[in-house]
Amino acid sequence: MVSIKDISAICGVSTATVSKALNGAPDVSEATREKIFQVSEQMKYRPNAAARALKTNRTYNLGVLFKDEAESGLTHEYFSAVLEGFRSEAESNGFDITFINTNNASMSYLEHCVYRNVDGVAIVCANFSDPQVLELSKSNLPVVTIDYVFNGKMAVLSDNLQGITDLFSYVYEKGHRRIAFIHGAPSSVTEARLVGFYRAAEQAGLDIPDAYVREGVFHDPASCARITGELLDLPEPPTCILFPDDFSALGGLNEINQRGLRVPEDISVAGYDGIHMSKVLDPPLTTIHQKTGTMGSAAALQLIEMIEHPRTTLARTSVVGGELWEGQSVSAPKK
């Protein structure tokens, strides 16, 4: 490969000058700078990333922790889409990304980051109570998290509170008063949604019976199918069910269909996420679309800002609003 040395030889200057010219240092004359650019262009010079990293201690590599406990990580559209937004924004800023989820026990996440010398790390999808994740969050490596906030660290959240509020208002205005909510396992996301749900109900002067609020499992149609069945078996079943996410809503839809009920004529349902599939279901699912691309992009920008200006950047949490996708799975309740 052609190195700075080759360029310097051809241009008749020292390697120091070449380096400085290429990096825009002020003490290089216009003439030599131009010559150096020309030659390195023509010889297709590419700086050696390893050498540069060794010297500067900067790799322009961002670590990504993307662990799917339930084997649904990279194949979970929500997280994949966030990752794609992150990757794209990072690359626009000259950063590449490297996965740091080692599965051999030889290195912790933090050790992996150190080993690879990443400039910062994004925790996109992980178990936030995992000691290794905590270790990472406590290190002085720049960190950004998605949908979770570590104290004093950058974070990007989807606005679950607003999202569920919008969804609730929408179905309420459609006339529903018996609204059930199957939520995911306890987490900050679930918490925000529950708060939003109850607040919106309160606001509307609606009292939600405890039997209408059930804990399901994210991304698990089976559990949601079962709970949907139990809800329908209530003496006074709900007229509308909100699911933890679009995919798990499929389970509920099946249970409903199998009982010979129709959506939305007999019962209304709504999902959450706004994945591709939601638009293609029959009927199209009313859902809250989370702006995953925006979230990933915001995470990348915040992380990079922290990397470039560690002393002058305050850790902050940005909240990305969702958007109601009006499908046809919610209509006025039967009289």
Partner DNA sequence: TAAAGTTACGAAATCGTTTTAGATATTTAA
Partner DNA sequence: TTAAATATCTAAAACGATTTCGTAACTTTA
> For helices 160-173 and 188-203, what crossing angle results, to 10°?
40
The runs of H, that is alpha helices, within 65-185 are 77-92, 109-116, 131-138, 160-173
15 binds, among its own copies, DNA, none (CB under 5 to 8 A by kind): DNA
185 binds, among DNA, its own copies, none (CB under 5 to 8 A by kind): none
Is there binding between residue 209 and DNA (CB under 7 A)? no
Q: How far is the CB of 102 from DNA (least distance, A)?
A: 18
Query: Which sign does the torsion angle of CA 101, 296, 157, 197 carry?
Result: negative
Q: How many H helices and E strands in the chain?
A: 13, 12
10, 15, 172, 226: which one contacts DNA (CB under 7 A)? Answer: 15
Is there binding between residue 51 and DNA (CB under 7 A)? yes
CA-closest candidate to residue 87, choices 300, 231, 237: 300
Q: How far is the CB of 118 from DNA (least distance, A)?
A: 15
Q: What share of the chain is helix, strand, coil (3-state, %, to 5)?
A: 45, 15, 40
Q: Which residues contact its own copies (rule: CB under 8 A)?
A: 1, 44, 46-51, 53-54, 59, 61, 68, 72-75, 77, 80-81, 83-84, 87-88, 91-92, 96-104, 107, 111, 114-117, 221, 247, 250-251, 253-254, 257-258, 275-277, 280-282
Task: Strands of 10-87 (E only): list them.
Answer: 61-66
Q: How far is the CB of 144 from DNA (least distance, A)?
A: 25
**Residues 102-141: x where in contact with DNA by CB under 7 A, - otherwise, as a string:** ----------------------------------------
41, 44, 55, 233: which one contacts DNA (CB under 7 A)? Answer: 55
Helix/strand/coil for 158: strand
Cis geometry, peptide bond prior to residue 244 (ω within 30 degrees of 0): no
If binding means CB under 7 A, how many residues of this protein chain bind DNA? 30
Cα 284 from Cα 281, distance rounded (Å) = 5
Residues forming contacts to DNA in the complex (CB under 7 A) are 1, 3-5, 12-17, 19-20, 22-23, 27-33, 45-48, 51-52, 54-56
